[in-house]
Amino acid sequence: MEKEELLKFVGKKIQEIRLSKGLTQVDLVGKIKGEIDTTNISRIEAGRTNPTIFTLYRIANALEVSLSEIVEIK
């Protein structure tokens, strides 16, 4: 899998989980501990940025899922 494909895959997974929980990007930002804004979430979900493992960890915690659920490739 190429880098761009992987970033889009992870972003889409985050978006799917967020939507399944009925959260907007603003809601998600409100649940994330630390500084992050909706622009960053939008870029991550679109696969336009390479988030750090710590950012993915914080997103997973805010979504109440494991980090592996966000990055698992089947």
- Would you kindly state where each structural domain of the chain is located, as residue ranges? 3-71
* Percent of the chain that is helix, strand, coil (3-state, to 5): 70, 0, 30
* Tens digits of residue pLDDT in 31-68: 998 889 999 999 999 999 999 999 999 999 999 999 99
H or E element at residue 21: none
Please report where in the chains the tokens 């630390």 appear, as a residue: 34
Tell me how far apart the alpha carbons of residues 10 and 48 are, in angstroms, rounded to a whole number.
11
Q: What is the CA radius of gyration of the chain?
A: 11
State the architecture of 3-71 in CATH terms: Orthogonal Bundle (1.10)
pLDDT at 3 exceeding the cut of 90: yes
- Whose structure tokens read 């985050």? 14
